[in-house]
Structure 1
Amino acid sequence: MLQSANPMPRWTGRPIVLVGLMGVGKSTVGRRLAGRLALPFVDADNEIEEAAGMTVSEIFDRFGEPYFRDGERRVIARLMDGKPKVIATGGGAFINDDTRAMILDEATAIWLNAHPDVLAERVRRRDTRPLLRGRDPREVLEELARVRDPIYALAPIHVASHKAPHENTVEAIMRAIGR
């Protein structure tokens, strides 16, 4: 379940940033992880929606993905205040070169990875994901994984998310960060 680019990864008190494809459980796992570590939890997408006064889908529809990604980068930069917390990012946040460099420099990045079949099953439950509108979720997620996984793999800690309770993923993260 656990892989790591660093043989002895340890959490140093910096913000923990969860990265990975949509549906991998970054928000759900992040909330639970924050509870276990007695830290604040922040969902970057929620922060973006609050700052913009509209949903992520509305931002995509009205202004397009590049505009959204720029706002996402600015919000994540604001969240990177050096204080311990758990941050769940949107699936594309870590793909942006500037956002990724900031996360790798200022936080402990953890890649949550799951098979596209597991992800497709999870995302079918909600119709709020702009990149999936009118498309087969399995096909989209498979293509996104092909393109994004090599970039997500730059995170120093890798944790697999299986078709199992999210608490299993939280436990794997706790072990990975030495807690």
Structure 2
Amino acid sequence: MGPESLPTRVLTLVGLAGVGKSTIARGLGTLWGWDVWDLDRMIEARTGFTVTRIFQEQGEPAFRALERDALAEALAGERRIVATGGGAPADPGAMDAIVANSVSVWLRARPGLLARRLLADGGRPFVDGYDHDEAFAVLADQLARRKRHYERATFVIDVDDLEAPAAIEAIHALVGRQLAAP
């Protein structure tokens, strides 16, 4: 893929929770000298509340409205990497906007691996208090519902066996030279 075929100089990372979108976005931002737009962090900064608290107190529809606004703003620029929340691409119209306004990468990983990672890291309300089998079931269900949206990404990178530095290098090798060129 040559630079003339790239629709924009925005890279959007999509995938399930725990796949490494935020970490990889920060690494690419450092490598390319680009801004990182992490939708969850943007929402937290704007509202003064954690994503968990917004979900608990205001519900998912309120959170998704905030996320839609943050995504629209993030996609409206250049030289930026957007780390979406896991559910963002499944919101009506979101993946259309991502595809139209960015080069996108689905960071794909097995739900079992993500369940282990999320349970070890903690802080994810949708798996708090769950054992591995329960967390796996939640993630497998999310993947089943979101896969058709994730599959619309420009590229797919399997990150099951990749640590963040290797995933960053894989994305850079795939699209970075075209996107990050001055």
Residue 142 (str. 1) matches residue 137 (str. 2): no
Alignment partner for residue 110 of structure 1, among 86, 105, 112? 105
Structure 2 residue runs of 5 or longer lacking an equivalent are 178-182
Note if contact 2:13-2:84 (Cα within 8 Å) is conserved in structure 1: yes
Higher helix proportion: 2
- Secondary structure at the aligned position of 1:125 is classed as helix
Q: State the match for 1:5 in structure 2.
A: none
Q: TM-score, normalised by structure 1?
A: 0.88
Deviation at 1:128, TM superposition (A): 2.2
Q: TM-score, normalised by structure 2?
A: 0.87
Aligned sequence identity (%): 34
Find the aligned partners of 1:95 and 1:109 in 2 and give their Cα distance.
Answer: 14
- CA 1:9/1:44 → structure 2, altered by over 3 Å: closer, same or farther? farther
Q: State the match for 1:58 in structure 2.
A: 53
Deviation at 1:89, TM superposition (A): 0.8
Q: State the match for 2:21 in structure 1.
A: 26
What is the letter of the counterpart of residue 138 of structure 1? Answer: F
What is the letter of the counterpart of residue 158 of structure 2? Answer: A
Where do 1:1-150 residues align within 5 Å? Answer: 8=1, 13-135=8-130, 136-150=134-148
Structure 1 residue runs of 5 or longer lacking an equivalent are 1-7
Note if contact 1:82-1:106 (Cα within 8 Å) is conserved in structure 2: no
Q: State the match for 2:155 in structure 1.
A: 157
Deviation at 1:25, TM superposition (A): 0.3
Deviation at 1:120, TM superposition (A): 1.1
- Secondary structure at the aligned position of 1:124 is classed as helix
What is the total number of aligned residue pairs between the two structures?
172
Note if contact 2:16-2:143 (Cα within 8 Å) is conserved in structure 1: yes
Find the aligned partners of 2:121 and 2:165 in 1 and give their Cα distance.
Answer: 21
* Residues 5-45 of structure 1: per-residue CA shift (max 9 Å, x gap): xxx37556521110000010001111111111121112110
Point out which structure has higher relative CO (alpha carbons under 8 A, 6+ apart). 1
Question: What is the CA RMSD across the aligned residues, in angstroms?
Answer: 1.7
- Secondary structure at the aligned position of 1:21 is classed as coil
Note if contact 2:12-2:102 (Cα within 8 Å) is conserved in structure 1: yes
Find the aligned partners of 2:128 and 2:149 in 1 and give their Cα distance.
Answer: 24
